[in-house]
Amino acid sequence: MKAMSETLKLRWPRWADRNTEASRAGAAPAPGEGDDPGIEPTIYRFIIRHSYKRQLVILALTLGSFPFLYYSLSLPKTIINRAIGGHKFPQQFAFWQLDQIPYLLTLCGLFLVLVFINGAFKFYINLYKGQLGERMLRRLRYELYHRVLRFPVGQFKRVSAAEVIPMITAEVETLGGFIGDAFVQPVFQGGTLLTIIIFMFAQDPVLGAAAVALYPVQGYVIPKLQRRINLLAKQRVRTVRQVADRVGESAAGIIEIRANDGVRLQLAGFAHLLGTIYSIRFDIYNRKFFVKFLNNFIGQLTPFFFYMIGGYLVIRGNLSFGALVAVLAAYKDLASPWKELLDFYQLMQDSHIKYEQVIEQFRPPGLIERTRQLNPPETVPPLTGAIVASNVSFAEDERARVVDAVSFSLAANEHVAIVGPSNSGRYELALLLARLIEPTGGRITIGGADLAGLHDAVVGRRIGYASATPHFFAGSMQDNLYFSLRNRPVVPARYEPLRARTVSKILAEARQAGNIDLDLGADWTDYAAAGVADAAGLAARTVELLRRLDLAEDVYAFGLRGRLDPRQRPEVAERLLEARRALAQRLAADGITHLVEPFAADRYNSNASLAENLLFGTPVGPAFDFDQLASNTYVLRVLDKAGLTEDLVAMGGEVAKTMIELFADLPPEHEFFEQYSFIGAGDLHEFQAILTRAQKSGRDKLKADDRTRLLSLPFKLIAARHRLGLLDAALEARILAARRIFAADLPAAMRSQIEFFDAARYNAAATVQDNVLFGKVAYGEAAAPARIPLAISSVLDALGLRDAITAIGLDFAVGSGGSRLSAAQRQKAALARILLKRPDIVILNEATAALDGQMQAKVMAGIKEECVGRGLIWSLHRASLARHFDRVIVMAEGRIVEQGTFAELDRPGTALNKLLASE
Amino acid sequence: MSLKEEVDLLRRIPLFANIEASKLKLLAFTSERVAFEGGQVLFRQGDMGDAAYIIIEGEAEVLVDGPAGPVTVAVLGRDAFVGEIAILCDVPRTATVRARQRLVCLRIAKELFLRLINEFPQMAVAVMRELALRLEASNQKLRAAVAEIEALRRPAQRA
């Protein structure tokens, strides 16, 4: 036993010794530098700090299950020896005297009860362990993610996101399973082992000693081997991270790789990494299985001592034969717990390393204090008073100072331009003033308060910062603009009682894992901060701001292409219907009715596809998707009823024939297929085969599948555009008949899957523009592309709908990273985002660099108007723009070389003058 | 008007006359039919050309900028082929073309035409032959003109 405990001790003291330290840290976390109170350096400290009570419960449950387990093991013996094989009846059972059969039945019943109890224990313990593991894993991931949010902003220059992501997702995944077993497994298996060893010692001390004789050897050798495995495991983790990094890099640099024929170099680099991983893993396997082999070997070696020493003792009469057999049997039982312990030991080592290696990546220097981000003050006071920088310096990674002992004092509502060459430190100075980086020397105060000591809530709500390359989150334009107003839940959500219970349960569970417990379902938008009363007010304010920033036109265009839910804004839908009527009048007045073919229930629209003509509506969801119509059973039924099926299949045959004739000679990758053909290059020969079959045995003999394929072609046909001459008046009339059948027979269940064209109703599935147009722009009319949008927008303006449509445009999905917006749109939207929250100080870093001169002037004027009475500090990419500011600070090589008004500085010989001259 | 009629239309244009029917059909299918209002401009003098037009119905006038403003130099009707140089090489438009009344054309985009030529060498040969014939015709005219000038100049020298 002593040897055993030594085996484990070799590794365990790490956490055992720090145990007391951990509890101390837990009681009073030391804030500030040095040891971070938030995260424990080893997994066992992490487990003890956050789950020691639950670990004790697991231990207690496990120990509590032992008597039942033991009894259920010994009961079969009683049943066989006494109930089945017994002779003395009646037997005493508790208070009763029982005959053989009732006795047997009673014991068997008891056995059944025990089976149930054991199963229940096992089930409950496993559940409890699983829950604990998941909660701890959740806590760990949450902590790691929060650390990412606390990283100093320069941290992602040093580590790539691609490396960090797998740490939070995959690398810690297995820890959950380990945490549940962290204490109970060694105690349980160790206890079993100990019991057996004690039993052996009781049988015979010498044999007992023989059984454990090799444990010291194992205790010495195995950890040694394991240490080497641990090193390899660390190396493996690092290499796998490089793989993640490499994939991330390749994704980011795909243009450069392709443009420079760099694929082979990338592949070779990747193959090399994989090779490294392979050899590390192979080495690990070798050593891991060698440990197992050694263990097995030693396990087999021990009986050798038993036979030798035990045999000797039996022959000499010092030991009974029965005792030797019992010891040998007990030794067999020793194998299982020993193996379990060894597995556990390896898992523990593995988890230990994983945890340590993840944690070390999340403790960068300069991590922002947790207290600065959580528990914000009740009220956030405005930042008033002079902005004073005294001897502010900033250096990165021990390089030369980028900002070097800068001092100035600005009035609270001054508009200040910072100009200078791009490496003059003005960029960093703006970051310093927005406290996105912290000075390495000197300090910045606002109204006498040290900027460094302010809570994030104060800085984030009272200071607005925008750079030239702002980030946008995947989501709507509105979500991105309102982002600056969503600091906390402002209005709690009102839930149904049932839902309320679920939500409070979800939040309670979040607390159990140390997660933040704020309800995502609440309204987080702080209308008061934007100076408005409600959502409608905020939308109006946003539109106004967008107009000032020259973005309203763009968002209006998004709105035209966007969709409106008429249930949410019935009044807007009503007015759009008015616009629809007004547009028709307007087109008539201008004499350009022929440019639009309106939808009419009793007329075939030759500028719409055959599918649209049949459905006479916009599909909602996939059921009536135009590409799938030919296999929609309801559509087929309608076509049959209208007697159209055969005609359309025949028409499909004609279309296929024409397509084959036109496109068969083109190489399959030719772009014409995509642009013009009804049939993809890959399918062309299949249609050829279908046509051949149809010719040979008749169209009606075709397989259902072939007919479906032919039928799918004419649906795409737009008479005015494709000019194939396949539709005549008679056929059109029959399609109109089918249109009526389609609407009349439509089952109630399908009603929600289509929005019919109805001159008197708003079509929620169509875009705003299509709703106003209510028809199709005619093909081949050279005047249409210019005149129709003009007519639409003048009608909408006349009805005062412009703002409402701009508000609809706020729903525009900006795409991942704002990729669906242009660079100029992103810069303007970022400005709108920070101005919405009405900050006291606006700090801009070349925030309009992507705009052309005319836009620039307009946007700058808009910003300055918005910033009347507020501080505005703008690091400018062009010195000439400084003309419009109260004060100009000129920087060079990290220092302020000049400051004053533009007029004062704009004279021969000044640094500003040189900057102006070089533009 | 269907595809078939458009193919017939193309066939009447000498530049396309020798191209086989299926290719003409492809050209017609991928080309656009465009209608212009009276007074609308098809293209302007000096612009880079991107398409040629075949008039299907209506009339268009050809205008050339003069010192006193644009001067109408020709009126084109049905089957006229306008701006064909633009789809063969990169030159600015030499005149402005404007619809006189509602005008329907088949618009042959330069990019599309060149892609078809690329794809089907026999089409290129047909076009080349037509161009060579034109060149030969021009050469003959030129030779005749030069001879005439020479004839006129000689007596003058003697005098």
User: pLDDT of A326-342, one tens digit each?
Assistant: 777 777 777 788 888 88
Q: Which of A723, A779, A781 to mutate to test the interface with B (most CBs of B within 10 A)?
A: A723
Q: What is the mean pLDDT of chain A?
A: 87
For residue B99, the 8-state DSSP code is: E
Give the distance from residue A902's alpha carbon to the nearest chain B alpha carbon, in angstroms.
45
Q: Is the pLDDT of residue A7 over 70?
A: no
Q: Which of B36, B119, B120 sits opposite A782 (nearest CB)?
A: B36
Confidence class for position A369, pLDDT limits 50, 70, 90: confident
Give the distance from residue A649's alpha carbon to the nearest chain B alpha carbon, in angstroms.
21
A573 belongs to a structural domain: no
Partners of A463 in the β-ladder: A841
Whether residues A135 and A32 fall in one domain: yes
Residues in chain B: 159
Q: How many CB atoms lie within 10 A of CB B1?
A: 13
Query: B121: which chain A residues are within 8 Å (Cβ-Cβ)?
Result: none
| A344-353 pLDDT, tens digit each | 988 898 899 8
A66 belongs to a structural domain: yes
- HEC assignment per residue over B46-81: CCECCEEEEEEECCEEEEEEECCEEEEEEEECCCCE
Q: Is the pLDDT of residue A95 over 90?
A: no
Query: B102: which chain A residues are within 8 Å (Cβ-Cβ)?
Result: none
Return the structure tokens found at B64.
């050339």
3-state secondary structure of A622: coil
Pick the last residue of a domain from A753, A770, A788. A753
Pick the last residue of a domain from A343, A361, A379. A361
| A586-615 pLDDT, tens digit each | 999 988 899 999 999 999 999 999 999 999
Question: Under CATH, to which class is B3-158 assigned?
Answer: mainly beta
Whether residues A223 and A355 fall in one domain: yes
Q: Is the pLDDT of residue A35 over 60?
A: no
For residue A130, the 8-state DSSP code is: H
Average pLDDT over residues A643-671: 87
Asked if B25 lies within 8 A of A661 by C-beta distance, the reply is yes
Sequence-separated (6 or more) residues with CB below 8 Å from residue B39: B98, B99
Whether residues A711 and A830 fall in one domain: no
| Structural domain span for residue A886 | 387-488+817-917
Residue with tokens 């296929």: A656
A679 belongs to a structural domain: yes
| A237-253 pLDDT, tens digit each | 889 889 988 998 898 89
Confidence class for position A439, pLDDT limits 50, 70, 90: very high
Chain B: residue whose CA lies nearest to A669 = B119
For residue A602, the 8-state DSSP code is: T
A778 belongs to a structural domain: no
Checking ipTM against 0.85, whether it exceeds it is: no
Which segments within A177-246 are labelled E, that is strand? none
Residues in chain A: 919
3-state secondary structure of A917: helix
Distance CA B21, CA B11 (A): 8
Whether residues A140 and A127 fall in one domain: yes
Q: Is the pLDDT of residue A138 over 50?
A: yes
Rounded to the nearest 10 degrees, what angle do helices A853-866 and A535-548 cross at?
130
Q: How many CB atoms lie within 10 A of CB B133?
A: 11
Q: Is the pLDDT of residue A5 over 50?
A: no
Q: Is the peptide bond before A90 cis (omega within 30 degrees of 0)?
A: yes
The reported pLDDT for the residue numbered A28 is 35
Whether residues A457 and A505 fall in one domain: no
Q: Is the pLDDT of residue A281 over 90?
A: yes
Chain A: residue whose CA lies nearest to B37 = A783
Residue A398 or B4, more confident: B4
Whether residues A237 and A283 fall in one domain: yes
Return the structure tokens found at A460.
């984030």
Distance CA A325, CA A307 (A): 10
Whether residues A650 and A697 fall in one domain: yes
Q: Which of B2, B35, B115 sits opposite A782 (nearest CB)?
A: B35
| A517-560 pLDDT, tens digit each | 999 999 999 999 999 999 989 999 999 999 999 999 999 999 99
Q: Is the pLDDT of residue A268 over 70?
A: yes
Sequence-separated (6 or more) residues with CB below 8 Å from residue A592: A783, A787, A791
Average pLDDT over residues A496-504: 94
Question: Do the bridges between strand A617-619 and strand A596-598 make them parallel or antiparallel, or are there none, so unpaired?
Answer: unpaired
| A743-781 pLDDT, tens digit each | 999 999 889 999 999 999 999 999 999 999 999 999 888
Cα-only R_g, chain A: 39
Q: How many CB atoms lie within 10 A of CB A440?
A: 16
A108: left (phi over 0), alpha (psi -120 to 50) or beta: alpha
Give the distance from residue A725's alpha carbon to the nearest chain B alpha carbon, in angstroms.
5
Return the structure tokens found at A563.
């969709």
Query: DSSP per residue over A717-771, as a string?
Result: -BHHHH------HHHHHHHHHHHHHHHHH--GGGGGGEEE--TTS--TTS-HHHH
What percentage of chain A has pLDDT greater than the value 90?
55
Query: B40: which chain A residues are within 8 Å (Cβ-Cβ)?
Result: 782-783
Query: DSSP per residue over A519-575, as a string?
Result: -TTSB---HHHHT-SSHHHHHHHHHHHHHHTT-HHHHHHHHHHS---TTT-HHHHHH
Return the structure tokens found at A782.
């050279």
Distance CA A414, CA A409 (A): 10
Whether residues A93 and A168 fall in one domain: yes
Q: In what order do the strands lie in the sheet with B51-57?
A: B32-36, B103-109, B51-57, B81-82
Give the distance from residue B123's alpha carbon to the nearest chain A alpha carbon, in angstroms.
13
3-state helix, strand, coil in chain B (%, to 5): 45, 30, 25
Query: A723: which chain B residues are within 8 Å (Cβ-Cβ)?
Result: 1-3, 6, 29, 33
Residue with tokens 């555009």: A721
Average pLDDT over residues A356-381: 87
The secondary element (H helix, E strand) that includes residue A466 is strand A463-466
Asked if A670 lies within 8 A of B25 by C-beta distance, the reply is no
Average pLDDT over residues A703-732: 88
The reported pLDDT for the residue numbered A790 is 92
Asked if A661 lies within 8 A of B34 by C-beta distance, the reply is no
The residue ranges of chain B whose pLDDT is under 50 are none
CA torsion A225→A226→A230→A236, rounded to 10°? 70
Q: Which of A670, A672, A724 sits opposite B3 (nearest CB)?
A: A724
Whether residues A510 and A624 fall in one domain: no
Give the distance from residue B55's alpha carbon to the nearest chain A alpha carbon, in angstroms.
13
Whether residues A474 and A420 fall in one domain: yes
The count of CB pairs under 8 A between chains A and B is 51
Query: B37: which chain A residues are within 8 Å (Cβ-Cβ)?
Result: 782-783
3-state secondary structure of B42: strand
Domains of chain B, residue spans: 3-158
CB A543 within 8 A of CB A807: yes
Amino acid sitting at position B81: F
| B73-116 pLDDT, tens digit each | 889 888 888 888 878 888 888 889 999 999 999 998 888 888 88
Our count of domains for chain A comes to 4
Q: Is the pLDDT of residue A191 over 90?
A: no
The reported pLDDT for the residue numbered B157 is 60
Sequence-separated (6 or more) residues with CB below 8 Å from residue A781: A594, A595, B34, B35
Average pLDDT over residues A301-319: 82
CATH, residue A863: 3.40.50.300
Asked if B22 lies within 8 A of A666 by C-beta distance, the reply is no
A165 belongs to a structural domain: yes
Whether residues A333 and A242 fall in one domain: yes
Distance CA A155, CA A782 (A): 56
CA torsion A565→A571→A576→A580, rounded to 10°? 120
Sign of CA dihedral A849, A850, A852, A854: negative
The secondary element (H helix, E strand) that includes residue A404 is strand A401-410
Distance CA B24, CA B3 (A): 10
Pick the last residue of a domain from A707, A728, A753. A753
CA proximity to A297, closest of A358, A349, A338: A338
CA proximity to A342, closest of A297, A277, A280, A282: A297
Whether residues A201 and A313 fall in one domain: yes
- Decide: residue A710, CB within 10 A, 0-12 exposed, 13-18 middle, 19+ buried: buried
Asked if A662 lies within 8 A of B25 by C-beta distance, the reply is yes
Average pLDDT over residues A138-167: 89
A874 belongs to a structural domain: yes
Q: Which of A661, A667, A724 sits opposite B22 (nearest CB)?
A: A661
A607 belongs to a structural domain: no
CATH, residue A357: 1.20.1560.10
Question: Do the bridges between strand A596-598 and strand A401-410 make them parallel or antiparallel, or are there none, so unpaired?
Answer: unpaired
Average pLDDT over residues A157-173: 87
Q: Which of B37, B82, B102, B111 to mutate to test the interface with A (most CBs of A within 10 A)?
A: B37
